[in-house]
């Protein structure tokens, strides 16, 4: 199971690296519209993921992400 977890972590890290590289490029290209480009990329990513998996999986993942953001807000108020 540990090898399987390590492989999943490596895949997750690689996917995050690819996504981050493209997000940075899109934000730079967007210039003053960067904030809107970021929001639209989230929407496009959610739509693409919903087609690749189930909507229930996406809802669960978005709830997890929301919880992480809320924890960050509590841990770092005012940021």
Residue 49, judged by CB atoms within 10 A of its CB (0-12, 13-18, 19+), counts as middle
Are the C-beta atoms of residues 37 and 26 closer than 8 Å to each other? yes
Number of domains in the chain: 1
Long-range contacts of 24-33 (CB under 8 A, 24+ apart): none
Give the residue numbers spanning the domain of 67.
Answer: 2-75
Residue-level pLDDT at 66: 94
> If we measure between CA atoms, which residue out of 39, 41, 45 comes closest to residue 58?
45
Are the C-beta atoms of residues 53 and 62 closer than 8 Å to each other? no
Per-residue pLDDT of the chain (79 residues; tens, 9 = 90+): 688 888 989 998 999 999 999 999 999 999 999 999 999 999 999 999 889 999 899 999 899 999 999 999 999 987 7
Residue-level pLDDT at 3: 84
Residue-level pLDDT at 70: 95
């Amino acid at each position: 199971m540990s090898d399987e977890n390590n492989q999943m972590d490596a895949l997750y890290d690689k996917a995050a690296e690819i996504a981050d590289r493209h997000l940075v490029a899109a934000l730079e290209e967007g210039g003053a519209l960067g904030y809107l480009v970021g929001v639209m990329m989230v929407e496009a990513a959610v739509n693409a993921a919903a087609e690749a998996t189930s909507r229930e999986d996406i809802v669960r993942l978005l709830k997890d992400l929301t919880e992480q953001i809320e924890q960050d807000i509590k841990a770092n108020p005012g940021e």
